[in-house]
Structure 1
Amino acid sequence: MKTIHLICAARPNFMKIAPLYHALKNEPWCVPEIVHTGQHYDYQMSQSFFDDFGLPSANHYLGGGSGTHAEQTAQTMIAYEKLCLEKSRPDLVVVVGDVNATLACSIAAKKIHLPVAHLEAGLRSFDRTMPEEINRVVTDSISDCFWTTSEDADENLKKEGINPEHIYLVGNIMIDTYCMMKEKIEKSDAYKTFGLKKKEYIILTLHRPVNVDVKETLESILNTVEQIDLPIIFPVHPRTRKNLDVIHPLPQNITLCEPLGYVDFMSLVSNSSSVISDSGGIQEETTYLGIPCFTMRNTTERPITVTMGSNQLVSVDNLLEKIKHPQTGSIPPLWDGKAAGRIKQVLKSAL
């Protein structure tokens, strides 16, 4: 029986490990263990996702908490190394996405000679001012196995000198999560709790420092969004809340709410007319659903959502013009809800 650590830290990670955990939990050749580093620790950002996805409590909780990038990374490295040396030494460490825990646990694992597999490897924005880009590049430089969502990610890894024999195009596991939860999502009708009509409202999410950490920037975005003639639902990320609290008055067409669980949030997204966001994952989910997405960023590490999907990169200056010309696009290859099964076969052969 091979022990596999599934590292999760923040809500995007919980979405990605859930299908893989369920694919592996009954296999006779492995024991998947969930390692929660603690980056997101309040109920709506953490435990609600475990509840939604039918995940058990984490096997190991590192208690990383908040702090600067360096503090989070250092605390997680120390705690994870201690776990591996003293309590649970895995046969494989699976890190996902691009959060600080992804970097921290991959470094800690490699320093004590543990193999690392990176789920969502090869994504690149080519913007080194993004902390997530540093996490992606460094993690890929030391990983042993690379599971990718699209061919452009494969090409990025090959250009960086990664052996093609270690790269596996498995598809997008975020779509596995949606397919796994689709029945519950369709039953939710969360938009009705806000008094909204299907396809007659917009979802807004903002959390990246470049958009929310400077009051004037956030205010400019909100002033622009105020000019859109539709109701807007804005689930507020904790890091965004502090600056919103000093902006008065807020636009009349915006309704604020607390962060939502996965089922209710995806119900809102799937019934919306469009989404305005600076998130990474939402670009993929809206592409799969054919819902126009307007990403408030200059770059994206998921360019296939622009070239094939429903995503457009926008700024405050051109949002109002772009939103007049939405695109629905098409679904990229292997975004079919079967990525976890492909990963399972790779793992079975390797382990």
Structure 2
Amino acid sequence: MSEQTGANILCVVGARPNFMKIAPIMRAFNAAGSGLRASLVHTGQHYDAAMKHAFFEQLHIPEPDVDLGVGSGTHAEQTAQIMLKFEPVLDAQQPDAVLVVGDVNSTIACALVAVKKGIPVIHVEAGLRSGDRGMPEEINRILTDQLSDLLFTTEMSAADNLEREGISRDKVFFVGNVMIDTLRYNLASATPSASTLAEAGPRFTEGYGLLTLHRPSNVDDPTVLRRLLTELVDISRETPLVFPVHPRTRARIRDAGLDAVIAGADILLLPPQGYLEMLGLMRDARVVLTDSGGIQEETTALGVPCITLRESTERPITVEQGTNTVVGTESAAIRKAYREVIQGGGKAGRQPEYWDGQAAQRIASILARWCGGVRQA
């Protein structure tokens, strides 16, 4: 390998939450003078081809060098298929390192294949912990961090989590949040909510809440799902809710016979939205109710009150410094947090350290030096 071409970093993207994280990384790695050369593998874990294309186009992500086309399946099936299809890619490309982001099945699957073939693993968004091992993502995070040679964190507390798990601080670098890089890069281009809601009527354009639900713990249990939807219907009578519905969530509502619960409520059901559309909806919302990890971060960056419908969060900085309140799924707690937002404006929050849009550049700089040291060793 010549110095002119730089170290070859094979970057992996798998599902929708990864797209926003990989975009600034690819941009920074492929910039002139970075000392790095990035190629991209899309595992196909996110199997909606139209939505994948929309995200890649909106975020200016280059077309993948390789698309594994894995598709859906159980956690075991999906992880196994990714591993089987990723190994020949490593054999063909012989990268200097494999970079994975986040906590989806693609993250752990590709990290595991790489480390068994002696290829260094780099984990972006390392060290986040919810403490809930019932979440598949928590298992993916813990195992990926144990396999990684270089770990980039979004908040200072992540290094403490990693040290408790026996990972040397020499491997860990606090660089900030690449999700926020993408948000800041695209904020001026966000689709105005008025455009997305043009046909919804004045009740929505005069002020709305944004709702997302997709966690298995919330949507797979009909009792929990009914409780959540019943409370959200009550909230919608005061603040109409815009609800881009994940296909899996829509199926669970139908299968549980809960369509009647939300029928006639001031809840606008939308199909899954592109990144720029969701960014505009978040920016303009009075309040966001969600079980998404990434949205907790994005609302903190935007200064929009966020109510998290989960028992825990792996992103404590959004609670400690940001606009996020974690309430669980009980009606009384949700209602209390909602009232605090409507009556008092919610938590003001502040911008966490290094959430400045430069995280990917820091990663590229550290990685170029690290790769140089590895090549000289």
TM-score range, shorter chain: over 0.9
2:10 is the alignment partner of 1:5: yes
Name the aligned partner's letter for residue 36 of structure 2. C
Distance 1:235 1:112 in 2: 41
The corresponding residue for 1:324 is: 339
CA RMSD of aligned residues (A): 1.5
Q: Deviations over 1:293-336 (max 9, x none)?
A: 11110010001111111111112331011111121211111111
The corresponding residue for 1:52 is: 58
2:232 is the alignment partner of 1:212: no
Worse-matched range after superposition: 236-245 or 62-71: 236-245
Structure 1: 5+ residue stretches without partners: none
The corresponding residue for 2:246 is: 237
Displacement after TM superposition at 1:189 (Å): 4.3
Choose between structure 1 and 2: higher helix proportion.
2
2:123 pairs, out of 101, 118, 129, with: 118
Distance 2:339 2:28 in 1: 42
User: Compared with structure 1, are the counterparts of its residues 147 and 189 closer, same or farther at alpha carbon in structure 2 (3 Å cutoff)?
Assistant: farther
Aligned residues: 350
Distance 1:208 1:179 in 2: 26
Distance 2:50 2:334 in 1: 29
Distance 1:136 1:45 in 2: 25
Q: Deviations over 1:208-233 (max 9, x none)?
A: 00111123321221110111111101
The corresponding residue for 1:268 is: 281
1:298 pairs, out of 301, 305, 311, with: 311
The corresponding residue for 2:41 is: 35
The corresponding residue for 2:374 is: none
Name the aligned partner's letter for residue 352 of structure 2. P
Worse-matched range after superposition: 22-31 or 204-213: 22-31
Q: Deviations over 1:138-186 (max 9, x none)?
A: 0001100000001100111112121111111000111100111111116
- Cα pair 2:111 2:148 within 8 Å, conserved: yes
Displacement after TM superposition at 1:273 (Å): 0.3
TM-score under structure 1 normalisation?
0.96
User: Compared with structure 1, are the counterparts of its residues 219 and 187 closer, same or farther at alpha carbon in structure 2 (3 Å cutoff)?
Assistant: closer
Structure 2: 5+ residue stretches without partners: 341-345, 372-377
Displacement after TM superposition at 1:90 (Å): 1.0
1:132 pairs, out of 124, 130, 137, with: 137
Distance 1:235 1:195 in 2: 17
Distance 1:242 1:180 in 2: 34
Distance 2:319 2:54 in 1: 31
Which structure has the bigger radius of gyration?
A: 2
- Cα pair 1:126 1:301 within 8 Å, conserved: yes
TM-score under structure 2 normalisation?
0.90
Please list, as runs of the form range in 1=range in 2, the aligned pairs for 1:158-237 lying within 5 A after superposition: 158-185=163-190, 189-193=194-198, 194-195=200-201, 200-228=207-235, 229-237=238-246
The corresponding residue for 1:102 is: 107
1:335 pairs, out of 342, 355, 377, with: 355
2:58 is the alignment partner of 1:62: no
| % identical aligned pairs | 45
User: Compared with structure 1, are the counterparts of its residues 131 and 232 closer, same or farther at alpha carbon in structure 2 (3 Å cutoff)?
Assistant: same
Distance 2:111 2:244 in 1: 31
User: Compared with structure 1, are the counterparts of its residues 92 and 27 closer, same or farther at alpha carbon in structure 2 (3 Å cutoff)?
Assistant: farther
